[in-house]
Structure 1
Amino acid sequence: MMGNLLTIIVFLPLLAALIIGFVPKSSQGQARAIALIATLLSLVFAGIVYAGFDFGAKGMQYTESAEWINIANAYKDQALVIGYDLGVDGLSMPFVLLTGIVSFLAVLASGRIQHRAKEYYIWFLLLVTGLYGCFVALDLFLFFLFLELTLIPMYFLIGIWGGERKGPVATKFLVYRGIASAFILVAFIAMAFKAADATGTISLNMLTIADAFSQASPDLITSAFKNGIFLVLFLAILIEEAFFPFHTWLPDTHEQAPSAVSMIVGGVLMKIGAYVLFRIAVGILPDAVQHYATLIAVIGVINIVYAALIAMVQKDWRRLLAFSAISHMGIVLLGVAAMNQAGIQGGIFMTISSGLLSALLFFLIGAIKERTGTAQIAGLGGLSKPMPILAGFLLAAALGSLGLPGMSGFISEILAFMGSFEVFPVLSAVGTLGIILAAVYLLWAMQRTTYGPTPAQLEGVTDARPIEFVPAIVLLALIILIGVYPQILSDLVNPSIQTLVTRIGG
């Protein structure tokens, strides 16, 4: 069993979803208990993988490989080979742990779900399986299958348990993410077939394709081809990450989705695009990334500043947080565009930090909305009096999001901007405006929410329940841990970053 840990991690939630299918509809508590146990066990097994991880190794670990599909003479007398290939390295391990932590805590936060709870947990667990699969798959076809597995569960989680506009927003989510998946599939197929010119076999294994692209002669795999494929892939990443001008689906999704679903969307689902950027774009097409570095940096800065400006005029906490996340992910683009160790490390740090902060903030806003009946900033006020604990956690999370020293957001921004200032000093200087604007809109929203007189209708609201301390404390502790001891993350990711930098001649 220990030799198949990644398979266990990925498919435990799927097994739990099947078991819940046999639970009576009236037994909502049983369905939730099964979902809790499954996500906790997957997290425990992810912790076992982390405990046994070789921090000094640069290659894949805990690999599992089996030939899945083999079609002889599929194209130009070349065989098409699709494998069940799994593995983790220093790049994917943080995403696996992030998935485990956020998914378990999101199930804890799902106690508010009473309507059709059995189906809710089935769809939720299917989503978790897809998320885990995306971060451990080493075969592009397998990755694509897991990516598609995240679409339908999210459609139903929004469409059934969402807010007043749940139907149109669920459809909008499906359309945008579906278009992004189509572009990803085109890029994957093109890369696999082009790599076959060098290897003689159409393999969709990421590592095989990366080696083929790095070792093949420029005449065989031309720069023009690499640049063209990168543009297709980058367009998909822009949609996946809700970057301007493809951003409108994300604020709508967060506004309509249940808070527990927003936790998993902001905490994990929105990080798949960044993972594709690190793993596929930088890992397989580093020359193309470098060729378009200025364009990537410009788009990053646009998103940093534009999303921050739009966040300043939002009236709903959930939409404000959505634009704040977009601004943070713009820093990831800026760091990656630098194509140096500090920039890429900062991009990975920011991705993980944004995941933890988003999960915490959406959890807290969901708890406040449950009690007050609104997430409208104007409808809140003076909450520090009736609910000092929730208000305190919200303040801490907001400070982490604006980059307070000692928290994960600060070290992430420092690393990303250190890398980008070396290559793009003017663009980086403009990008720092996002940090200033974040302080403005977050502190303004906090002041309106927690200070001042308490409206009469909010005076009797209750504070955090004991079960709600778990997500709040765990997520905040991790945010502070990375902030005060960043080595816990840098030791994990640095060997993989060095491999990426070596590919670009850094």
Structure 2
Amino acid sequence: MMGNLLTLIVFLPLLAALIIGFVPRGNHSQARAIALIATFLSVLLAGIVYANFDFGAKGMQFTQSAEWINIANVYQDKSLVIGYDLGVDGLSMPFVLLTGIVSFLAVLASGKVQHRTKEYFIWFLLLITGLYGCFVALDLFLFFLFLELTLIPMYFLIGIWGGEKKGRVASKLLVYRGLGSAFILVAFIGLAFKAAAATGTISLNMLTIADAFATASPDIITTAFKNGIFLVLLLAILIEEAFFPFHTWLPDTHEQAPSAVSMIVGGVVMKIGAYVLFRIAVGILPDSIKHYAILIAVLGVINIVYAALIAMVQKDWRRLLAFSAISHMGIVLLGVAAMNQAGIQGGLFMTISSGLLSALLFFLIGAIKERTGTTMIAGLGGLSKPMPVLAGFLLAAALGSLGLPGMSGFISEILAFMGSFAAFPVLSVFGALGIILAAVYLLWAMQRTTYGPTTAQLEGVSDARAVEYVPAVVLLALIILIGVYPQILADLVNPSIQTFVSRIGG
């Protein structure tokens, strides 16, 4: 049973989607109940994996491996081997838990979906299957299949259930993320074929490729090749994470997407690129990151400051939060560029923290929009009087996003900047401006939204319902838990980070 846990986690949502396909079209509650049960069981199984996880081990755990495709004499008498290889370590485990928690809460937040409910949950569950698969796949081909599985569901979830400009925005998302996937595929093929020069077999197993790149002589896998492949991979990551100058699709997506879809996009989908950065770039090409450290750090600072400045002039809460997330992920780039223990740990902390904060903030803004009919900052005001609970949660989430001590954002920023100041003191000073700017735009938006006189049309709106307490309380509790007791995450990720650092002699 324990050996099949990862397969169950990944494919339970897919099984539920197939079952929903047989539900009568008008039976909204039954489709919703199946989706809730499936996502709850997946997160429960993820919790079992976490409870049985060996925190001191550096390698993969709960592994499953089976040869899937074996094609002889593909290239220079070398066979191509593709495996159904799954596993988790200290790097992937937080992403699996993040996917489980956010996906279950996002399904719970989808209770108001009445239009084509059956199709909505089928696409939602397919998206969740792809997300789980990305974080447990150990074979590059398998990872790419799961990555592609996330594209089409996102297209339909936004294109059918989105706002007025849903068609154009869904197509834009598909083009950008499809382009990012294409560059990822090019990088994966290059990694696999070059590693074959050292191993004698074209294996797509990430661990095999990592070992080959770490041990092969420079004559077999040259520094120039590593740096070239890294640049292709970096371009893919910039697109996937909506970094400048490839950022325009993300604010549009959040502006048009339903709030529950924004929860899963901002909370998990936008972390796939960061996972590729850690797993492939840091794990396989650490020397190339060292070589391009200044470039990566500069890109990080540009995204921190530029996104914060653009967030300051936004009139829509959803666009403001999108640019805030881009600014946060710039801190990840800056921390990773330092290539030291603190920097990488801070970048990983920030990725998980940003996922929790984004999911919470988009959920709360969606709940407010449901009641007020708007997410425009100018159309809100004095909400602390008619809806003090939702306004209070929004204030707490905003404070967490700007890095209030005692919350996950604070410890993430401290660690990332500790690492970056050791490597790039001047650039880090400019990057730290993003923290100040975050306080400016978030507190300004909160002041306009929750305080002041309540407009006539907003008087009498209802406060949080009982079911809405669950996502708000769970996400906020996790944000505070990581902020108050960061060791709960550090103990999990440190063995993997130490392996990465040791490969660059850190």
Q: TM-score, normalised by structure 2?
A: 1.00
Aligned to 2:266: 266
* TM-superposed deviation, 1:2: 2.2
Partner Cα separation in structure 1 for residue 334 and residue 299 of structure 2: 8
Aligned to 2:120: 120
Partner Cα separation in structure 2 for residue 320 and residue 73 of structure 1: 53
Q: Describe the superposition over 1:160-203 as per-residue Cα deviations: whole angstroms up to 9, x where unpaired.
A: 00000000000000000000000000000011000000000000
Q: How does 1:333-412 map to 2 (within 5 A)?
A: 333-412=333-412
Partner Cα separation in structure 2 for residue 127 and residue 502 of structure 1: 35
Aligned to 2:466: 466
State the one-letter code of the partner of 1:338.
A
Aligned to 1:195: 195
Aligned to 1:257: 257
State the one-letter code of the partner of 2:46.
A
Q: Describe the superposition over 1:234-285 as per-residue Cα deviations: whole angstroms up to 9, x where unpaired.
A: 0000000000000000000000000000000000000000000000001000
Q: SS of the residue aligned with 1:112?
A: coil
Q: Does 1:146 align with 2:127?
A: no
Q: SS of the residue aligned with 2:313?
A: coil
Partner Cα separation in structure 1 for residue 505 and residue 174 of structure 2: 39
Q: SS of the residue aligned with 1:111?
A: coil
Partner Cα separation in structure 1 for residue 164 and residue 3 of structure 2: 47
Q: SS of the residue aligned with 2:111?
A: helix
Aligned to 2:164: 164
State the one-letter code of the partner of 1:286.
P
Aligned to 1:479: 479
Q: SS of the residue aligned with 2:57?
A: coil
Q: Does 1:447 align with 2:447?
A: yes
Partner Cα separation in structure 1 for residue 213 and residue 139 of structure 2: 16
* TM-superposed deviation, 1:504: 1.0
Q: SS of the residue aligned with 2:82?
A: strand
* TM-superposed deviation, 1:31: 0.3
Partner Cα separation in structure 1 for residue 219 and residue 290 of structure 2: 19
Q: Does 1:277 align with 2:277?
A: yes
Q: How does 1:269-348 map to 2 (within 5 A)?
A: 269-348=269-348
8 Å contact from structure 2 (residues 338, 420) kept in 1: yes
Aligned to 1:137: 137
Partner Cα separation in structure 1 for residue 482 and residue 133 of structure 2: 25
Aligned to 1:213: 213
Partner Cα separation in structure 2 for residue 401 and residue 465 of structure 1: 24
Q: Describe the superposition over 1:313-349 as per-residue Cα deviations: whole angstroms up to 9, x where unpaired.
A: 0000000000000000000000000000000000000
Partner Cα separation in structure 2 for residue 282 and residue 36 of structure 1: 36
Q: Describe the superposition over 1:207-231 as per-residue Cα deviations: whole angstroms up to 9, x where unpaired.
A: 0000000100001100000000000
* TM-superposed deviation, 1:505: 1.0
State the one-letter code of the partner of 1:80.
L
* TM-superposed deviation, 1:460: 1.4
Partner Cα separation in structure 1 for residue 22 and residue 367 of structure 2: 31
Unaligned runs of 5+ in 1: none
8 Å contact from structure 2 (residues 83, 139) kept in 1: yes
Aligned to 2:60: 60
Partner Cα separation in structure 2 for residue 198 and residue 333 of structure 1: 31
State the one-letter code of the partner of 1:218.
P
Q: Does 1:417 align with 2:413?
A: no
Aligned to 1:109: 109
Aligned to 2:437: 437
Aligned to 1:9: 9
Aligned to 2:20: 20
Q: Describe the superposition over 1:60-116 as per-residue Cα deviations: whole angstroms up to 9, x where unpaired.
A: 000000000000111111000000000000000000000000000000000121100
8 Å contact from structure 2 (residues 267, 358) kept in 1: yes
Partner Cα separation in structure 2 for residue 39 and residue 453 of structure 1: 41
State the one-letter code of the partner of 1:150.
T
8 Å contact from structure 2 (residues 2, 62) kept in 1: no
Partner Cα separation in structure 2 for residue 202 and residue 474 of structure 1: 44
Q: Describe the superposition over 1:270-308 as per-residue Cα deviations: whole angstroms up to 9, x where unpaired.
A: 000000000000100011111000000000000000000
State the one-letter code of the partner of 1:303.
N
Q: Describe the superposition over 1:98-154 as per-residue Cα deviations: whole angstroms up to 9, x where unpaired.
A: 000000000000012110000000000000000000000000000000000000000
State the one-letter code of the partner of 2:3.
G
State the one-letter code of the partner of 1:54.
D
Q: SS of the residue aligned with 1:68?
A: strand
Partner Cα separation in structure 2 for residue 300 and residue 166 of structure 1: 30
Q: SS of the residue aligned with 1:195?
A: helix
Q: SS of the residue aligned with 1:96?
A: helix
Q: SS of the residue aligned with 2:109?
A: helix
Partner Cα separation in structure 2 for residue 436 and residue 489 of structure 1: 26
Q: TM-score, normalised by structure 1?
A: 1.00
Partner Cα separation in structure 2 for residue 433 and residue 112 of structure 1: 40
8 Å contact from structure 2 (residues 164, 256) kept in 1: yes
